[in-house]
Amino acid sequence: MEERHMDKREFLKTSGAMLASTLLSKLTPAQITADSRTNWAGNYTYSTKNLDQATSVEDVLHSVSSHSHLKALGARHSFNGIADSAVDQISLTHFDQIELDAKARTVTVGAGVTYGQLAPYIDSRGFAVHNLASLPHISVVGACATATHGSGNNNGNLSTAVRAMEIVTANGEVLIFSRETLGDRFQGTVVGLGALGVITKVTLDVQPSFQMTQMVYEELSFSQLEHHLDDIFASGYSVSIFTDWQNHRATQVWIKRRVDQGSHADPKADFYGAKPATHNLHPLAGHSAENCTEQMGIPGPWYERLPHFRMNFTPSSGAELQSEYFVPREKGYAAILAVEQLRDQITPHLFITEFRTIAADDLWISPCYQRQSMTLHFTWKPQWPAVKKVLPLIEEKLAPFGARPHWAKLFTMPSARLRSEYTKLSAYQGLLAQYDPNGKFRNTFIDRNIYGI
């Protein structure tokens, strides 16, 4: 077993102080100041100025026993109040150990590790994780707690790689959650929304490293999606389709192929009538492709092709909002047509929409629970009053398809609807009652969306 450990023995109680001065925080649009503590996008201000910086499990135990309410904070990339607390938050940024077990094909990472830190480390030792989100800046633990996903018909969301978690629960126990310790209930804990306790480390499955290419095509007619949606999403290991909802067409298609699966697309050939891009593109028209991963069919490591955005640059637009809804994959085209009817309400406030696919899983409150899924994602301009009016319209259009919202993005769906779409929600409530009977890790987001309060 190989281990990388940088232990900083300090336990800082900050009061709205700046988070650790990482490269990432230098690049974030929302600078954290002593007076204002916000999420990455700057659209959400946390309700408390108290942020414990833990460097050891003992520190975490101390925080858990000292506060009536506590919430773990990851890399702050969620767009809603999921990571908020009225009393106290705890950051585990300093939990930066990475332990690769090549024989078991697993890697165990501290709760502060981001995919951007994990990926080059395991790749240099011959391993990969099965997929990545559009950006590498997010923490592994925070991403897995919210069922964060990339794309690919056969790729489960990132949480499906979780084999075990070490967690500090409300009564001060340090437990290992795994299939071995919990049986089937483990599937209820992985997408945990930070409500079961403070996770200190997580073990993920890894596989042999692989090379990939990325090709981008422009102007794909929706009528091609009508007849070939499955083929188009099956044309690569990971496929993303972007649209601005204008002119009944997709603006771009990004196809990420594994070289070991025969990545030999002719760079000059059309793709269902869409034209191959002649240079690297950003999904947002007019944005420089400098912060995007390499395209044009040039082979490279998996972690430099699976995300759309490169590590040391601002991902996406920066000042933005995001929403995303999961529908059954076989209803994907019908769902696209339903939302297209709202294009005149959507487009003025939209940077871009993206469609992706995710494999079904068995994680209780994953949006892909027992359902092959397609997502309709919206990167919005930072215009919340207007976006807040459009979301209920989109949710109404998608209701007949049984849409489930992304937990970490913006939605307005009433909790009653969430309960009917997330069929294992009451079983998940049972886990919360067992591990957090007095609601130490509950916050307004959990009260509203899980308990309907």
Ligand X SMILES: Cc1cc2nc3c(=O)[nH]c(=O)nc-3n(C[C@H](O)[C@H](O)[C@H](O)COP(=O)(O)OP(=O)(O)OC[C@H]3O[C@@H](n4cnc5c(N)ncnc54)[C@H](O)[C@@H]3O)c2cc1C
Please give the residue ranges that form the binding site for ligand X (CB under 6 A): 40-41, 71-78, 82-83, 92, 111, 133-135, 138-139, 141-143, 145-146, 148-149, 193-194, 198-199, 315-316, 322, 406, 408
Smallest gap from Cβ 442 to ligand X, in A, equals 11
Asked if residue 394 lies in contact with residue 411, where contact means CB atoms within 8 angstroms, the answer is no
Cβ proximity to ligand X, 149 vs 257, nearer residue: 149
Smallest gap from Cβ 273 to ligand X, in A, equals 27
Smallest gap from Cβ 6 to ligand X, in A, equals 17
**Alpha-carbon separation of residue 190 from 108, 116, 157 (angstroms):** 15, 21, 11
Cβ proximity to ligand X, 224 vs 237, nearer residue: 237
Smallest gap from Cβ 379 to ligand X, in A, equals 8
Smallest gap from Cβ 114 to ligand X, in A, equals 7
Residue 245 CB burial class (10 angstroms; 0-12, 13-18, ≥19): buried
Q: CA-CA distance, 115 to 138, in Å (whole number)?
A: 6
Smallest gap from Cβ 69 to ligand X, in A, equals 12
Cβ proximity to ligand X, 131 vs 224, nearer residue: 131
Asked if residue 411 lies in contact with residue 391, where contact means CB atoms within 8 angstroms, the answer is yes
Q: State the DSSP H helix or E strand holding residue 390, giving kind and residue range, or none if neither.
A: helix 384-398
| DSSP character at residue 315 | -
| DSSP character at residue 329 | G
Cβ proximity to ligand X, 145 vs 350, nearer residue: 145
Q: Which residues contact 268 (CB under 8 A, 6 or more apart)?
A: 276
Q: CA-CA distance, 149 to 359, in Å (whole number)?
A: 10
Cβ proximity to ligand X, 136 vs 276, nearer residue: 136
Q: CA-CA distance, 32 to 51, in Å (whole number)?
A: 12
Cβ proximity to ligand X, 93 vs 263, nearer residue: 93
Helix/strand/coil for 139: strand
Cβ proximity to ligand X, 76 vs 256, nearer residue: 76
Smallest gap from Cβ 275 to ligand X, in A, equals 25
Q: CA-CA distance, 188 to 198, in Å (whole number)?
A: 16
- Looking at 37-181, which runs of residues are DSSP E strands? 50-53, 71-73, 89-91, 98-101, 106-110, 127-128, 162-168, 174-178
Cβ proximity to ligand X, 40 vs 233, nearer residue: 40
Smallest gap from Cβ 140 to ligand X, in A, equals 8
